[in-house]
Amino acid sequence: MDVWEHSIGLWEVLHTLNIKTLSLRLFWIQWTDLRTESLSKSLSSLTRLETLNVSVFAESSCPWKALHGLNIKSLRLSLSPNGKCKDLQAESLYQSLASLTQLETLRITLDPDSRGLWRGIHCLNIKRLSLKTMEWGGLHKELMSLSLSSLTQLDTLCIEMECDNPGLWEAVHGLNIKSLSLSGLWIPTGIDVTHSMSLSKTLASLTHLETLSIDVEHESPGLWEALHGQNIKSLSLSGVRKSSGIDVKHAETFSQSLSSLTQLETLTLHVHTYIALQVPQSLKHLNIYSDTMLPSKVRELVDSLAIYTHSIGIKLEFGCASSIDPPERIPVQEYIPFQQELAARKNVAVKRFRIYELPDSAGYAMSVRDIGDVDDAASNILEDDVYKRFAKYIDRYIINRISILIEISPGSLS
């Protein structure tokens, strides 16, 4: 719901609805006590509400008091780029957030130069926190460090930013989180790590960290070196939003870092084109999404994994092309014989060999067809965020793609 100054009566129609999710965008409203109270009554009447998203476009006042005492589990707050969380508003924000006793997830987009932001999140009992900002130039690293370390229940931290910052890595240092996500925001910049030593020390200090996800704009030896030897169980690497996969130019350094992750069980990659990988023996699940892939590279990948002495599940999804922009498509017929080659290998179980073609025979929609037998249980797997980003990118260029699920058993391949 979008609400403007002249239409503030709109939120009154929400009263006592049985909804679970509500998104409000509040445009340039002068927040008097009466208007804030009116919004508060409407929100508090939504007894089944679990998720609330509030975007405020204003330069001075904000309706934080209206959030007080809600029984929601997830809250997303966004303040317009021109707005700052001033001291008086920060106290109101802090009191309202502290009153949300059921809150588990907080996503907040505010000006990082607002000291009140860090006061607002201090000592909350949340489990998941997402911080978004256009830039970190005014980062108060001491305040941020104090606030983050005060979140004793926090296990997941997501930071979306325009560029990396040593002060940011210092603020995250030593947290007891299990999952960390680092990504770009709004414009396709991602994380160009120029302070890899600081990042490496921070990652090493997160002794409980199990899952790490990074969006990369410009991969560099420094980034791969920062990952070297970390004790994580799950690693996800992809290009920035609305962009292609990672164009890996330092493949040897990257592969060495991967092989050093001796605790790694799940690896998810979105790369622009296929590269040879040296993965650790601990790996159980490998998800590779490649914008382009030659038929010969599919065989090369399977052969490279044949040496491992344990079972490994592979989800491979790729565009049937040798290039994307401009598109140089490869007919799907050139990949179909490879399904029989896979099925003939005694230590490879083909769970799915699926072809997505654009457009279909009607000329306007995607057609989906399976080659060979399909393991329905294995095929009904969740599509992760990296996959969704990859699929959206490929579809933009009207590129056919193929999805393969295989299980490789121990021993040499025939």
- Give the domain CATH number at 115: 3.80.10
Total domains in the fold of the chain: 3
Structure tokens at 212: 């790490």
Specify the pairing of strand 285-292 against strand 266-273: parallel
- Please tell me whether residues 52 and 122 are part of one structural domain: yes
Within-domain flag for 289: no
Structure tokens at 283: 């790996």
Domain that residue 52 falls in:
1-133
- Please tell me whether residues 100 and 184 are part of one structural domain: no
pLDDT > 70? residue 101: yes
- Please tell me whether residues 233 and 188 are part of one structural domain: yes
- Please tell me whether residues 247 and 369 are part of one structural domain: no
Domain boundary among 133, 166, 198: 133
Cis, peptide link before residue 410, omega less than 30° from 0: no
Helix/strand number for the chain, H first, E second: 12, 18
* Residue with the larger pLDDT of the pair 141 and 256: 256
Hey, which bits of 336-408 come out as E strands? 348-357, 367-370, 401-408
- Please tell me whether residues 315 and 262 are part of one structural domain: no
- Please tell me whether residues 12 and 120 are part of one structural domain: yes
Within-domain flag for 79: yes
- Please tell me whether residues 211 and 122 are part of one structural domain: no
The predicted model gives 206-227 an average pLDDT of 88
- Please tell me whether residues 222 and 314 are part of one structural domain: no
- Please tell me whether residues 172 and 71 are part of one structural domain: no
Instruction: Write down the mean pLDDT value for the chain.
Output: 85
User: Mapping DSSP to helix (H, G, I), strand (E, B) and coil, where does residue 79 land?
Assistant: strand
- Please tell me whether residues 1 and 125 are part of one structural domain: yes
**DSSP designation for 121:** T
CB atoms within 10 A of CB 169: 23
For the chain, report the end-to-end CA distance as a whole number of angstroms: 60
Give the HSE-up count for residue 118: Cα atoms under 13 Å, Cβ half-sphere. Answer: 18
Alpha carbons 163 and 150: distance in angstroms, whole number: 25
Alpha carbons 312 and 297: distance in angstroms, whole number: 18
Helical spans, DSSP H, in 45-110: 87-99
- Please tell me whether residues 237 and 337 are part of one structural domain: no
Given this model, what pLDDT does residue 185 score?
A: 46
Specify the pairing of strand 211-216 against strand 234-239: parallel
pLDDT > 70? residue 182: yes
The predicted model gives 322-351 an average pLDDT of 89
For the chain, what's the residue count? 414
CB atoms within 10 A of CB 216: 25
- Please tell me whether residues 107 and 19 are part of one structural domain: yes
Within-domain flag for 293: no
* Residue with the larger pLDDT of the pair 72 and 346: 72
Within-domain flag for 145: no
pTM for this entry = 0.89
Residue corresponding to tokens 């059921």: 102
Domain boundary among 283, 314, 341: 283
Percent of the chain with pLDDT over 70: 85
Given this model, what pLDDT does residue 239 score?
A: 84
Rounded to 5 degrees, φ, ψ at 301 are: -65, -50
Specify the pairing of strand 348-357 against strand 367-370: antiparallel
Within-domain flag for 290: no
The predicted model gives 142-149 an average pLDDT of 87
pLDDT > 90? residue 265: yes
Within-domain flag for 349: yes
Strand partners, 54: 24, 77
Structure tokens at 42: 């409407």
Given this model, what pLDDT does residue 411 score?
A: 59
* Residue with the larger pLDDT of the pair 22 and 410: 22
pLDDT > 60? residue 414: no
Percent of the chain with pLDDT over 90: 43
Within-domain flag for 299: no
Within-domain flag for 3: yes
Digit-coded pLDDT (tens) for 354-389: 999 887 555 567 788 889 877 766 665 667 889 988
Digit-coded pLDDT (tens) for 24-34: 999 988 888 89
Given this model, what pLDDT does residue 75 score?
A: 97
